[in-house]
Amino acid sequence: MTLATGLDRATDLDLNRFGPIGLVVVQSTSLCNLDCDYCYLPDRQQRRIFDLQLLPVLLQRILESPFCGPQISLVWHAGEPLTLPCSYYDEATSIIQSYLQQHTNGEVVIDQHVQTNATLINDAWCECFKRNRIVVGVSIDGPAAIHDAHRRFRNGNPSHALSLRGLEALRRHNIPSHVIAVVTAEAMDQPEAMYRFFRDTGITSLGFNVEEQEGVHTSSSMQGQLQEERYRRFLSRFWELSEADEHPLALREFHQVIDLIQRNRRLNQNELNRPYSILSVDWQGNFSTFDPELLSVSSERYGNFNLGNIRNTSLVEAASSARFQQLWADVMGGIALCQSSCDYFGLCGGGMGSNKFWEHGTLNCSETSACRFRTQLPVQVLLKRFEAGPPLSA
Protein backbone atom coordinates (compact mmCIF):
# COMPACT_ATOMS: atom_id res chain seq x y z
CA MET A 1 0.00 0.00 0.00
CA THR A 2 1.20 3.53 -0.70
CA LEU A 3 -0.43 5.18 2.31
CA ALA A 4 1.44 5.67 5.57
CA THR A 5 0.54 3.10 8.18
CA GLY A 6 0.42 5.50 11.11
CA LEU A 7 2.61 3.21 13.20
CA ASP A 8 4.79 6.14 14.26
CA ARG A 9 1.76 7.64 16.02
CA ALA A 10 0.68 4.37 17.63
CA THR A 11 3.74 3.61 19.75
CA ASP A 12 1.79 3.92 23.00
CA LEU A 13 -0.90 1.46 21.90
CA ASP A 14 -0.77 -2.29 22.50
CA LEU A 15 -1.52 -3.19 18.89
CA ASN A 16 -1.74 -6.88 19.82
CA ARG A 17 -5.09 -6.08 21.46
CA PHE A 18 -6.41 -4.09 18.46
CA GLY A 19 -7.96 -5.01 15.12
CA PRO A 20 -7.51 -5.93 12.41
CA ILE A 21 -10.54 -4.17 10.97
CA GLY A 22 -12.70 -6.89 9.44
CA LEU A 23 -16.11 -5.25 9.58
CA VAL A 24 -17.06 -1.67 8.69
CA VAL A 25 -20.69 -0.74 9.35
CA VAL A 26 -21.79 2.37 7.46
CA GLN A 27 -25.14 4.05 7.90
CA SER A 28 -25.94 4.87 4.29
CA THR A 29 -29.24 6.32 5.51
CA SER A 30 -30.98 6.67 8.84
CA LEU A 31 -34.39 6.14 7.23
CA CYS A 32 -36.27 2.89 7.55
CA ASN A 33 -39.55 2.25 5.79
CA LEU A 34 -40.66 0.00 8.67
CA ASP A 35 -41.34 0.93 12.27
CA CYS A 36 -40.42 -2.26 14.14
CA ASP A 37 -41.42 -1.85 17.76
CA TYR A 38 -38.20 -3.42 19.09
CA CYS A 39 -35.80 -1.26 17.03
CA TYR A 40 -33.04 0.54 18.96
CA LEU A 41 -32.53 3.35 16.42
CA PRO A 42 -34.01 6.72 17.47
CA ASP A 43 -34.14 8.58 14.13
CA ARG A 44 -35.31 5.88 11.72
CA GLN A 45 -38.16 8.08 10.45
CA GLN A 46 -35.73 10.72 9.13
CA ARG A 47 -34.06 10.48 5.72
CA ARG A 48 -30.47 11.42 6.43
CA ILE A 49 -27.92 10.19 3.90
CA PHE A 50 -24.22 9.39 4.06
CA ASP A 51 -22.53 11.63 1.48
CA LEU A 52 -20.51 9.39 -0.84
CA GLN A 53 -17.93 12.17 -1.10
CA LEU A 54 -16.97 10.98 2.39
CA LEU A 55 -16.34 7.42 1.22
CA PRO A 56 -12.77 8.09 -0.02
CA VAL A 57 -12.08 9.80 3.31
CA LEU A 58 -13.31 6.73 5.17
CA LEU A 59 -11.19 4.45 2.99
CA GLN A 60 -8.15 6.63 3.62
CA ARG A 61 -8.71 6.50 7.38
CA ILE A 62 -8.83 2.72 7.25
CA LEU A 63 -5.86 2.21 4.93
CA GLU A 64 -3.57 4.72 6.67
CA SER A 65 -4.13 3.08 10.06
CA PRO A 66 -2.16 0.17 11.55
CA PHE A 67 -5.50 -1.56 12.13
CA CYS A 68 -6.37 -2.23 8.48
CA GLY A 69 -7.12 -5.87 7.74
CA PRO A 70 -6.62 -7.64 4.39
CA GLN A 71 -10.30 -8.66 4.03
CA ILE A 72 -12.98 -6.15 4.99
CA SER A 73 -16.75 -6.49 4.91
CA LEU A 74 -18.41 -3.10 4.44
CA VAL A 75 -22.03 -3.41 5.58
CA TRP A 76 -24.62 -0.77 4.68
CA HIS A 77 -26.85 -0.91 7.76
CA ALA A 78 -28.51 1.04 10.63
CA GLY A 79 -31.53 2.11 8.57
CA GLU A 80 -33.04 0.49 5.48
CA PRO A 81 -30.32 0.79 2.83
CA LEU A 82 -32.72 0.08 -0.04
CA THR A 83 -34.64 3.30 0.57
CA LEU A 84 -31.78 4.81 -1.45
CA PRO A 85 -31.65 4.21 -5.22
CA CYS A 86 -29.58 1.50 -6.89
CA SER A 87 -27.38 4.24 -8.35
CA TYR A 88 -26.13 5.09 -4.85
CA TYR A 89 -24.50 1.66 -4.52
CA ASP A 90 -23.30 1.71 -8.13
CA GLU A 91 -21.42 4.91 -7.29
CA ALA A 92 -20.16 3.46 -4.00
CA THR A 93 -18.75 0.44 -5.83
CA SER A 94 -17.02 2.66 -8.37
CA ILE A 95 -15.45 4.74 -5.59
CA ILE A 96 -14.26 1.69 -3.65
CA GLN A 97 -12.78 -0.05 -6.68
CA SER A 98 -11.04 3.09 -7.91
CA TYR A 99 -9.61 3.90 -4.50
CA LEU A 100 -8.29 0.40 -3.88
CA GLN A 101 -6.72 0.24 -7.35
CA GLN A 102 -4.98 3.55 -6.73
CA HIS A 103 -3.78 2.95 -3.18
CA THR A 104 -3.26 -0.81 -2.77
CA ASN A 105 -1.64 -3.52 -4.80
CA GLY A 106 -4.41 -6.00 -4.23
CA GLU A 107 -3.42 -6.22 -0.55
CA VAL A 108 -6.87 -5.21 0.67
CA VAL A 109 -10.20 -6.63 -0.48
CA ILE A 110 -13.49 -4.93 0.43
CA ASP A 111 -16.77 -6.79 -0.03
CA GLN A 112 -20.03 -4.88 0.23
CA HIS A 113 -23.04 -6.18 2.17
CA VAL A 114 -26.53 -4.92 2.89
CA GLN A 115 -28.79 -5.86 5.78
CA THR A 116 -32.32 -5.30 4.52
CA ASN A 117 -35.93 -6.01 5.46
CA ALA A 118 -36.37 -7.17 1.82
CA THR A 119 -39.67 -5.33 1.31
CA LEU A 120 -38.19 -3.24 -1.51
CA ILE A 121 -36.26 -5.99 -3.31
CA ASN A 122 -37.30 -6.39 -6.94
CA ASP A 123 -35.63 -7.38 -10.21
CA ALA A 124 -33.80 -4.03 -10.44
CA TRP A 125 -32.32 -4.48 -6.97
CA CYS A 126 -31.28 -8.03 -7.76
CA GLU A 127 -29.41 -6.79 -10.83
CA CYS A 128 -27.78 -4.14 -8.64
CA PHE A 129 -26.66 -6.76 -6.12
CA LYS A 130 -25.18 -8.90 -8.88
CA ARG A 131 -23.28 -6.22 -10.77
CA ASN A 132 -21.86 -4.79 -7.53
CA ARG A 133 -21.29 -8.22 -5.93
CA ILE A 134 -23.22 -7.15 -2.84
CA VAL A 135 -23.83 -9.85 -0.23
CA VAL A 136 -27.42 -9.77 1.01
CA GLY A 137 -28.61 -10.28 4.56
CA VAL A 138 -32.37 -10.32 5.16
CA SER A 139 -34.23 -9.53 8.37
CA ILE A 140 -37.39 -11.62 8.72
CA ASP A 141 -38.76 -13.04 11.95
CA GLY A 142 -40.54 -16.21 10.83
CA PRO A 143 -44.17 -16.92 9.92
CA ALA A 144 -46.49 -14.00 9.24
CA ALA A 145 -48.26 -13.97 12.62
CA ILE A 146 -44.95 -13.83 14.51
CA HIS A 147 -43.21 -11.45 12.11
CA ASP A 148 -46.09 -8.99 11.72
CA ALA A 149 -46.62 -8.73 15.48
CA HIS A 150 -43.58 -6.41 15.52
CA ARG A 151 -42.46 -5.58 11.97
CA ARG A 152 -45.01 -3.21 10.48
CA PHE A 153 -45.06 -0.08 8.36
CA ARG A 154 -45.78 3.24 10.04
CA ASN A 155 -49.37 3.11 8.82
CA GLY A 156 -49.79 -0.17 10.69
CA ASN A 157 -49.78 -2.41 7.63
CA PRO A 158 -47.94 -5.74 7.92
CA SER A 159 -44.65 -6.27 6.11
CA HIS A 160 -44.33 -10.06 5.93
CA ALA A 161 -45.83 -10.56 2.47
CA LEU A 162 -43.51 -7.95 0.95
CA SER A 163 -40.47 -9.45 2.69
CA LEU A 164 -41.39 -12.85 1.23
CA ARG A 165 -41.76 -11.27 -2.18
CA GLY A 166 -38.23 -9.89 -1.82
CA LEU A 167 -36.87 -13.29 -0.83
CA GLU A 168 -38.56 -14.81 -3.85
CA ALA A 169 -36.90 -12.24 -6.11
CA LEU A 170 -33.51 -13.20 -4.66
CA ARG A 171 -34.20 -16.87 -5.33
CA ARG A 172 -35.37 -16.12 -8.86
CA HIS A 173 -32.06 -14.41 -9.54
CA ASN A 174 -30.03 -17.13 -7.78
CA ILE A 175 -28.73 -14.67 -5.20
CA PRO A 176 -27.89 -16.39 -1.91
CA SER A 177 -28.84 -14.67 1.33
CA HIS A 178 -28.54 -15.21 5.04
CA VAL A 179 -31.28 -14.34 7.50
CA ILE A 180 -31.37 -12.68 10.90
CA ALA A 181 -34.54 -13.23 12.91
CA VAL A 182 -35.35 -11.29 16.04
CA VAL A 183 -36.80 -13.80 18.49
CA THR A 184 -39.63 -12.46 20.64
CA ALA A 185 -41.98 -13.98 23.19
CA GLU A 186 -44.53 -14.74 20.45
CA ALA A 187 -42.18 -17.36 18.98
CA MET A 188 -41.40 -19.25 22.17
CA ASP A 189 -44.25 -21.74 21.93
CA GLN A 190 -43.89 -22.19 18.17
CA PRO A 191 -40.47 -23.75 17.43
CA GLU A 192 -42.08 -26.08 14.86
CA ALA A 193 -43.65 -23.20 12.96
CA MET A 194 -40.42 -21.20 13.09
CA TYR A 195 -38.25 -24.08 11.93
CA ARG A 196 -40.56 -25.14 9.10
CA PHE A 197 -40.94 -21.58 7.88
CA PHE A 198 -37.20 -21.09 7.44
CA ARG A 199 -36.66 -24.59 6.06
CA ASP A 200 -39.51 -24.35 3.57
CA THR A 201 -38.51 -20.84 2.52
CA GLY A 202 -35.14 -22.22 1.49
CA ILE A 203 -33.07 -20.45 4.13
CA THR A 204 -29.78 -22.25 4.76
CA SER A 205 -28.04 -19.72 7.05
CA LEU A 206 -29.93 -18.29 10.02
CA GLY A 207 -29.09 -16.28 13.12
CA PHE A 208 -31.33 -15.57 16.09
CA ASN A 209 -31.12 -12.15 17.74
CA VAL A 210 -33.15 -12.43 20.93
CA GLU A 211 -35.13 -9.23 21.51
CA GLU A 212 -32.96 -6.98 23.68
CA GLN A 213 -33.25 -3.94 25.87
CA GLU A 214 -31.13 -1.36 24.02
CA GLY A 215 -31.26 2.17 22.69
CA VAL A 216 -34.74 3.65 22.56
CA HIS A 217 -36.15 0.13 23.09
CA THR A 218 -36.08 0.15 26.89
CA SER A 219 -37.81 -3.16 27.63
CA SER A 220 -37.98 -6.61 26.07
CA SER A 221 -40.63 -9.30 25.93
CA MET A 222 -37.80 -11.78 26.58
CA GLN A 223 -36.74 -10.49 29.99
CA GLY A 224 -36.72 -12.78 33.02
CA GLN A 225 -35.90 -16.34 34.04
CA LEU A 226 -39.20 -17.69 32.71
CA GLN A 227 -38.36 -16.51 29.20
CA GLU A 228 -34.86 -17.95 29.47
CA GLU A 229 -36.32 -21.36 30.25
CA ARG A 230 -38.80 -21.01 27.38
CA TYR A 231 -35.94 -20.15 25.04
CA ARG A 232 -33.99 -23.20 26.21
CA ARG A 233 -36.94 -25.42 25.28
CA PHE A 234 -37.38 -23.53 22.01
CA LEU A 235 -33.73 -24.10 21.01
CA SER A 236 -33.85 -27.75 22.04
CA ARG A 237 -36.88 -28.39 19.86
CA PHE A 238 -35.37 -26.38 16.99
CA TRP A 239 -32.27 -28.58 17.13
CA GLU A 240 -34.36 -31.76 17.22
CA LEU A 241 -36.27 -30.73 14.13
CA SER A 242 -33.12 -29.72 12.29
CA GLU A 243 -31.33 -32.93 13.26
CA ALA A 244 -34.24 -35.03 12.02
CA ASP A 245 -33.89 -33.29 8.64
CA GLU A 246 -30.09 -33.74 8.67
CA HIS A 247 -29.54 -30.02 9.30
CA PRO A 248 -30.69 -28.29 6.10
CA LEU A 249 -30.03 -24.90 7.68
CA ALA A 250 -27.10 -23.74 9.83
CA LEU A 251 -28.19 -21.89 12.96
CA ARG A 252 -25.47 -19.41 13.90
CA GLU A 253 -25.91 -19.93 17.64
CA PHE A 254 -25.13 -23.64 17.32
CA HIS A 255 -22.66 -23.44 14.46
CA GLN A 256 -20.30 -21.01 16.25
CA VAL A 257 -20.10 -23.16 19.37
CA ILE A 258 -19.60 -26.39 17.41
CA ASP A 259 -16.86 -24.73 15.35
CA LEU A 260 -14.95 -23.73 18.49
CA ILE A 261 -15.33 -27.21 19.97
CA GLN A 262 -14.27 -29.01 16.79
CA ARG A 263 -11.19 -26.82 16.40
CA ASN A 264 -10.40 -27.07 20.13
CA ARG A 265 -10.27 -23.29 20.18
CA ARG A 266 -11.23 -20.86 22.93
CA LEU A 267 -11.61 -17.08 22.90
CA ASN A 268 -9.94 -14.46 25.07
CA GLN A 269 -11.62 -11.56 23.24
CA ASN A 270 -14.28 -11.17 20.58
CA GLU A 271 -14.82 -8.70 17.76
CA LEU A 272 -17.29 -6.71 19.86
CA ASN A 273 -14.76 -5.95 22.61
CA ARG A 274 -11.57 -5.81 20.54
CA PRO A 275 -10.86 -2.22 19.42
CA TYR A 276 -10.98 -1.68 15.67
CA SER A 277 -12.07 -5.17 14.87
CA ILE A 278 -15.29 -3.34 13.97
CA LEU A 279 -15.50 0.24 12.76
CA SER A 280 -18.92 1.91 12.71
CA VAL A 281 -19.67 5.15 10.85
CA ASP A 282 -22.92 7.11 10.95
CA TRP A 283 -24.41 9.20 8.15
CA GLN A 284 -22.49 12.29 9.32
CA GLY A 285 -19.10 10.58 9.34
CA ASN A 286 -18.92 10.13 13.11
CA PHE A 287 -17.24 6.86 14.02
CA SER A 288 -16.87 4.46 16.91
CA THR A 289 -15.62 0.97 17.58
CA PHE A 290 -16.74 -1.99 19.68
CA ASP A 291 -20.49 -2.63 19.22
CA PRO A 292 -22.17 -0.86 16.28
CA GLU A 293 -25.23 -0.33 18.51
CA LEU A 294 -23.21 2.16 20.59
CA LEU A 295 -22.65 4.50 17.63
CA SER A 296 -23.86 8.05 18.40
CA VAL A 297 -25.16 7.00 21.85
CA SER A 298 -24.63 9.42 24.73
CA SER A 299 -24.50 8.57 28.41
CA GLU A 300 -23.83 10.22 31.73
CA ARG A 301 -20.93 7.87 32.48
CA TYR A 302 -19.12 7.99 29.14
CA GLY A 303 -20.45 11.01 27.33
CA ASN A 304 -20.70 10.24 23.63
CA PHE A 305 -19.44 6.86 22.42
CA ASN A 306 -18.33 8.46 19.14
CA LEU A 307 -14.55 8.79 18.93
CA GLY A 308 -14.43 11.50 16.28
CA ASN A 309 -15.37 12.32 12.71
CA ILE A 310 -13.52 10.85 9.75
CA ARG A 311 -13.17 14.35 8.28
CA ASN A 312 -10.73 15.51 10.94
CA THR A 313 -9.74 12.57 13.17
CA SER A 314 -7.63 9.54 12.33
CA LEU A 315 -8.27 6.17 13.90
CA VAL A 316 -4.94 6.32 15.75
CA GLU A 317 -5.68 9.79 17.08
CA ALA A 318 -9.06 8.56 18.31
CA ALA A 319 -7.46 5.55 20.03
CA SER A 320 -5.08 7.91 21.85
CA SER A 321 -7.89 10.12 23.17
CA ALA A 322 -9.02 10.27 26.79
CA ARG A 323 -12.52 9.20 25.75
CA PHE A 324 -11.29 6.03 24.11
CA GLN A 325 -8.94 5.27 27.00
CA GLN A 326 -11.86 5.44 29.45
CA LEU A 327 -13.97 3.15 27.27
CA TRP A 328 -11.09 0.72 26.73
CA ALA A 329 -10.22 0.57 30.43
CA ASP A 330 -13.81 -0.35 31.28
CA VAL A 331 -14.05 -2.86 28.41
CA MET A 332 -10.86 -4.56 29.63
CA GLY A 333 -12.18 -4.49 33.19
CA GLY A 334 -15.38 -6.17 32.02
CA ILE A 335 -13.44 -8.82 30.09
CA ALA A 336 -11.38 -9.58 33.20
CA LEU A 337 -14.52 -9.93 35.30
CA CYS A 338 -16.02 -12.32 32.75
CA GLN A 339 -12.84 -14.37 32.59
CA SER A 340 -12.61 -14.72 36.37
CA SER A 341 -16.27 -15.49 37.00
CA CYS A 342 -17.84 -17.24 34.01
CA ASP A 343 -17.41 -20.85 32.91
CA TYR A 344 -18.47 -19.88 29.39
CA PHE A 345 -15.75 -17.28 28.87
CA GLY A 346 -13.77 -19.32 26.32
CA LEU A 347 -16.87 -19.68 24.15
CA CYS A 348 -17.80 -16.01 24.41
CA GLY A 349 -14.64 -13.95 24.86
CA GLY A 350 -16.02 -11.46 27.31
CA GLY A 351 -19.50 -10.55 26.16
CA MET A 352 -20.97 -7.60 24.28
CA GLY A 353 -20.33 -4.07 25.52
CA SER A 354 -23.62 -2.65 24.31
CA ASN A 355 -25.61 -5.20 26.29
CA LYS A 356 -23.48 -4.57 29.37
CA PHE A 357 -24.10 -0.86 29.00
CA TRP A 358 -27.84 -1.08 28.37
CA GLU A 359 -28.42 -3.59 31.18
CA HIS A 360 -25.95 -2.32 33.81
CA GLY A 361 -25.01 1.21 32.77
CA THR A 362 -21.31 0.36 32.48
CA LEU A 363 -18.91 -1.60 30.29
CA ASN A 364 -17.01 -2.73 33.38
CA CYS A 365 -19.24 -5.63 34.38
CA SER A 366 -19.77 -9.26 33.53
CA GLU A 367 -22.87 -11.36 32.91
CA THR A 368 -25.91 -10.03 31.09
CA SER A 369 -29.22 -11.42 29.97
CA ALA A 370 -27.85 -11.25 26.43
CA CYS A 371 -24.92 -13.49 27.49
CA ARG A 372 -27.31 -16.13 28.67
CA PHE A 373 -29.44 -16.00 25.53
CA ARG A 374 -26.58 -15.77 23.04
CA THR A 375 -24.02 -18.14 24.56
CA GLN A 376 -24.98 -19.96 27.73
CA LEU A 377 -28.34 -21.39 26.70
CA PRO A 378 -27.22 -22.60 23.23
CA VAL A 379 -24.17 -24.25 24.83
CA GLN A 380 -26.35 -25.95 27.44
CA VAL A 381 -28.70 -27.24 24.76
CA LEU A 382 -25.81 -28.63 22.70
CA LEU A 383 -24.08 -30.25 25.67
CA LYS A 384 -27.27 -31.99 26.73
CA ARG A 385 -27.72 -33.30 23.19
CA PHE A 386 -24.10 -34.44 22.90
CA GLU A 387 -24.28 -36.24 26.24
CA ALA A 388 -27.27 -38.20 24.91
CA GLY A 389 -25.22 -39.77 22.13
CA PRO A 390 -23.02 -39.08 19.10
CA PRO A 391 -24.15 -35.80 17.51
CA LEU A 392 -24.80 -35.28 13.86
CA SER A 393 -22.65 -32.58 12.25
CA ALA A 394 -24.27 -29.15 12.18
Contacts of 25 (CB under 8 A, 6+ apart): 75, 77, 78, 278, 279, 280, 281, 292, 295
- Residue 4 has what pLDDT? 44
What pLDDT is attached to residue 106? 84
Indicate whether 163 pLDDT > 70.
yes
Do 356 and 228 form a contact (C-beta atoms < 8 A)?
no
The reported pLDDT for the residue numbered 12 is 66
Is the confidence at residue 301, as pLDDT, over 50? Answer: yes
Whole-number Å distance between alpha carbons of 237 and 278: 34
Q: Helix, strand, or coil here: 252?
A: helix
> Residue 107 contacts by C-beta under 8 Å, 6 or more apart in sequence?
1, 70
pLDDT tens column, 223-256: 999 999 999 999 999 999 999 999 999 999 999 9
Helical spans, DSSP H, in 201-267: 225-244, 252-262
Q: Name 383's Cβ contacts closer than 8 Å, sequence gap at least 6.
A: none
How many other β-carbons are positioned within 10 Å of the β-carbon of residue 216?
Answer: 10
Mean pLDDT of 135-154: 97
CA distance 251 to 255: 6
Distance of CA 26 to the CA centre of its chain: 12
CB atoms under 10 Å from CB of 360, counted, come to 14
CATH number at residue 252: 3.20.20.70
* CA–CA gap between residue 95 and residue 53 (Å, rounded): 9
pLDDT at 218 over 90: no
Domain of residue 91 covers 1-394
The DSSP letter of residue 352 is -
Q: What is the pLDDT of residues 107-139, one digit of tens each?
A: 999 999 999 999 999 999 999 999 999 999 999
Per-position DSSP letters for 138-201, written without gaps between them: EE--SSHHHHTTT-BBTTS-B-HHHHHHHHHHHHHTT--EEEEEEE-GGGTT-HHHHHHHHHHT
Q: What percent of the chain has pLDDT over 90?
A: 86
Residue type present at position 151: R
Total tally of structural domains belonging to the chain? 1
Q: 296 pLDDT exceeds 90?
A: no
Question: Contact, 270 vs 348, CB < 8 A?
Answer: yes
**Residue 273 has what pLDDT?**
94
Confidence class of residue 309 from pLDDT cuts 50, 70 and 90?
very high
Q: What is the DSSP string of 66-117?
A: TTEEEEEEEEE-SS-GGGS-HHHHHHHHHHHHHHHHHH-SS--EEEEEEEE-
Tens of pLDDT along 37-89? 999 888 888 999 999 999 999 999 999 999 999 999 999 999 999 999 999 99
What is the pLDDT confidence band of residue 385, given thresholds at 50, 70 and 90?
very high
Report yes or no: 268 and 339 within 8 Å, Cβ to Cβ: yes
β-partners of residue 180 are 139, 207
User: How much is the pLDDT for 10?
Assistant: 53
pLDDT band at 214 (very low <50, low <70, confident <90, very high): confident
C-alpha to C-alpha distance for 220 and 143, rounded to whole angstroms: 20
Q: Return all residues near 171 (Cβ < 8 A) that are at least 6 apart.
A: 202
Residue range 5-44, pLDDT digits in tens: 444 455 567 778 899 999 999 999 999 999 999 998 888 8
CA 119, CA 161: separation in Å to the nearest integer? Answer: 8
pTM: 0.93
Residue 217 has pLDDT above 90, yes or no: no
Summary mean pLDDT of the chain? 93
> 182-209 pLDDT, tens per residue?
999 999 999 999 999 999 999 999 999 9
Sign of CA dihedral 330, 255, 126, 194: negative
Dihedral over Cα of 21, 25, 26, 28: its sign: positive
Give residue 284's pLDDT band: very low, low, confident or very high (50, 70, 90). very high
Count Cβ atoms below 10 Å from residue 310 Cβ, excluding itself: 22
